[in-house]
Amino acid sequence: MKIGIVGCVGRMGRMLINAIDQTPDAELAGGTERAGSPAVGEDPAMVAGLSASGLIIGDDPRALFEIADAVVDFTAPEATAAHAKLALETGTALVPGTTGLSAQQQAAIDAAAEKVAVVQAANYSVGVNLLLGLTEQAAAILGDDYDIEILEMHHRHKVDAPSGTALALGQAAASGRQVDLDKVAQRVRDGHTGERNVGDIGFATLRGGMVVGDHTVMFAADQERIELTHKASDRAVFAKGAIRAALWTKGQAPGLYSMRDVLGFS
């Protein structure tokens, strides 16, 4: 299966290229970078530290979408929305890992999913997706006597907060309790806040160092506390999961899927 990588020179882009190289049945279709990037014209495999592939990094994503069976996108919200439109127009499966999307940008992905298979996840780690399932199950079992708090920490360079994974965990908890996350989420606490509201789902964000990604969901009651935690030590786990998702799209009907579908958790 030919898999293209947009934004192939970034940290995740290079890891995705390596993941393709290590994955049976996967072949690098090519990679792109923004117009004017010094990487344009280079060999994407060599940029990722591999042997020459004979391919050249381009600056025209449409050309990549036209030759790839699936494209993996860990870029930026505006670019991801544009790539979703290309997926729709070319009939190419899409695996978007970009977080922090606006409603309008998400709508572009939803539109693409009406015509092609799209696997969208806040986090492509197998372990994180198991955590999502456990969080939903625990929230369904434990009542409002258990306060739910979600703590996440990432490296100092991350630009959005809370992380997409933290928000996905909040949504899993809300789904377990059959409530609307937007109505119970508490994302900021500062100053004299008063007592915690019963049923709130709280978020706390930490940034520092080069932490790849730590997430903990706490269920705190008066007599006990349950904590579910996942810690990623290498971003390669996200790349491997994303390539697994890309391979899974082969033969799938159009639709918006998640890693839970890919892993058979749904």
Whether residues 17 and 110 share a domain: the answer is yes
Tell me what pLDDT residue 38 has. 96
- Residues linked to residue 149 through DSSP beta bridges, in sequence order: 202, 218
- CATH number of the domain to which 189 belongs: 3.30.360.10
Statement to judge: residues 25 and 157 lie in one domain: no
- HSE (side-chain half, CA atoms, 13 Å) at 73: 31
In tens, the pLDDT along 180-203 reads 999 999 999 999 999 999 999 999
What distance in Å separates the CA atoms of residue 262 and residue 264, rounded to the nearest whole number?
6
pLDDT of residue 265: 77
The residue segments making up the domain with residue 170 are 126-232
User: Is the bond leading into 96 cis (omega within 30 degrees of zero)?
Assistant: no
Q: Write down the pLDDT at residue 235.
A: 86
158 labelled catalytic: yes
Q: Provide the pLDDT for residue 266.
A: 67
200 and 217 in one domain?
A: yes
* 83 belongs to the catalytic site: no
Per-residue pLDDT at 122: 82
Q: Which helix (H) or strand (E) holds 27?
A: strand 27-32
Q: Are both 102 and 186 inside the same structural domain?
A: no
Mapped onto helix, strand or coil, the DSSP state of residue 10 is coil
Q: What is the pLDDT of residue 249?
A: 98
Question: pLDDT under 70 in the chain at which residues?
Answer: 266
Q: From the candidates 154, 215, 230, 240, which is the catalytic residue?
A: 154
Domain count of the fold of the chain: 2
Q: Are residues 106 and 158 in the same domain?
A: no
Which candidate in 2, 85, 115, 158 is catalytic?
A: 158
pTM, rounded to two decimals: 0.80
Distance CA 30, CA 3 (A): 7
- How many DSSP H helices and E strands does the chain contain? 10, 11
CATH of the domain at 102: 3.40.50.720
Mark whether 66 and 157 lie in a shared domain.
Answer: no
Q: Same domain for 107 and 19? A: yes
